[in-house]
Amino acid sequence: MTTRSVAAAGALRGSVQVPGDKSASHRALLLSALASGRSTITGLSRADDVRATGVIAGQLGAEVTYSESVVTVEGPTLGLRAANEPLDCGNSGTTMRLVAGLVSGIAGTHVLIGDSSLSRRPMDRVAIPLTLMGATVSGQGVSVTAPLKVIGSRELHAIDYHLPVSSAQVKSSILLAGLAATTKVIVREDVRTRSTTEDMLLRAGVSVESTNLADGRIVELEPSRPQATTWIIPGDPSQAAFFAVLGAIHTDAEIEILNIDSSPERNGFIQVLQRMAAQLSISSTDTGISLRSVSSKLTATEILSSEIPSVDEVPALTVAAAAANGVSVFRDMGELRVKESDRFASSMELAAALGCRTWSESDDFFIEGVGGAKHFNSFDFDGRSDHRMVMSSAIAGAAGYGCRITGAQTVSSSYPLFFDDLAALQ
Ligand code: S3P
């Protein structure tokens, strides 16, 4: 366990290029592995979670070669095959859920394992639809936690599935399994989650049709093998959120965050911060958008989980709410409880450590802001093997009066150079 001290930052100036989008990075590796021949990936995230996916692609028969700027994946002509050792997904829920779908379409027995945090997370959400498609998926207990055993088949059934939880990971797991189905696969979602898989399948030549409904979306996929292609990965909006919040709550900040993905399902945090009166501006770039975040006086707001479908940016927004004037309400945040840690509890705990009054009612929680980071406490925080909780506490410490974080090394799950990028702004 590494305990790390974060000092209060003086002025914050400069620009930060956050890592390549983690979601797109996992999918680029997996789709390239499924294709026949050589794909190249520029801007791949070098985080531990993505590295776990790359190792698994190799175990299944693809050849993954890393160089400084480009990663090359050679997909086997005859297709992927079962590995004879366990597939280690580390701390990465995306790896486990996407790989469970992918190996459902590969004949043989696959064992998926993860670290202690991942081994507590529910996998029934993928086990149920994958079993309906003809794979056999078993795990531990009622929520089917890892280790998982997946028995795959080259001839999965078609499925028309209404997602009971809004989850891009579950949708993607079904679509990846669907590539090995005999006919069309349909996934219906009530909230539009990130469309990374659909967009990237299209780019790889697979026929996927998305129809937006008033509130949700229907995705229809015609099974086929993805084609090898070139991938260019934009910056990760979920990582940009930490610097956007930091710029807004620090009393002397002007931070630019360069070239992030512009997908609407990923950028809800921008609207939330603007609603809180953050001076956060957006400019278009060739590959997405850049943000500029400057010191602001924030006001409280009401945040619905449907605005931030993955709830990934909620811990960072909790820090914004802690610095705001008034009571912010986070509605329908139950999914936070089954992330890398129980982020429902740990976000509230972080706000309380900063000096806020906090309370919850069912799946909603409330943060009474202290009216500026200059009123934050200096604090100690247990990072709980959760990269986003570590980064959220670090920005709170930098904007206020410093903090000490236990388990800070866990940022390597998604953002190995986070503390370097934070230091470079000072
Ligand atoms: C992800 C989807 C989200 C998100 C995770 C990445 C993805 O999870 O929290 O960080 O790449 O599909 P859910 O699909 O469970 O919301």
Residue 287: predicted pLDDT: 84
**Mean per-residue pLDDT, 230-248:** 98
**pLDDT tens per residue across span 117-154:** 999 999 999 999 999 999 999 999 999 999 999 999 99
363 catalytic, yes or no?
no
**pLDDT tens per residue across span 250-267:** 999 999 999 999 999 999
Say whether domain 3-20+234-424 belongs to CATH 3.65.10.10: yes
Helices assigned H by DSSP within 360-417: 387-399
Specify the CATH number for 22-232; select among 3.30.1360.120, 3.65.10.10, 3.10.580.10, 3.40.50.1360.
3.65.10.10
Domain assignments of the chain as residue spans, ordered by start: 3-20+234-424, 22-232
Q: Which of 21, 88, 261, 312 is catalytic?
A: 312
Compute, in angstroms, the gap from residue 411 CA to the centroid of ligand 1.
Answer: 17
Ligand 1, residue 172: give the atom nearest the CA: 12
Which 3 state secondary structure label does DSSP give 412?
Answer: helix
- As a whole-number percent, the residues of the chain with pLDDT over 70 amount to 100
Ligand 1 contacts (CB < 6 A) are: 23, 94, 167-169, 172, 193, 310, 312
Residue 209: predicted pLDDT: 98
**pLDDT tens per residue across span 264-311:** 999 999 999 999 999 999 999 988 999 999 999 999 999 999 999 999
**Whole-angstrom distance, CA of residue 310 vs CA of residue 169:** 9
- pLDDT tops 90 at residue 2: no
Residue 369: predicted pLDDT: 98
**Whole-angstrom distance, CA of residue 336 vs CA of residue 345:** 9
The pair phi, psi for residue 113, each rounded to 5°, is: -120, 165
Q: Do domains 3-20+234-424 and 22-232 have the same CATH topology?
A: yes
Compute, in angstroms, the gap from residue 10 CA to the centroid of ligand 1.
Answer: 34
**Whole-angstrom distance, CA of residue 64 vs CA of residue 326:** 50
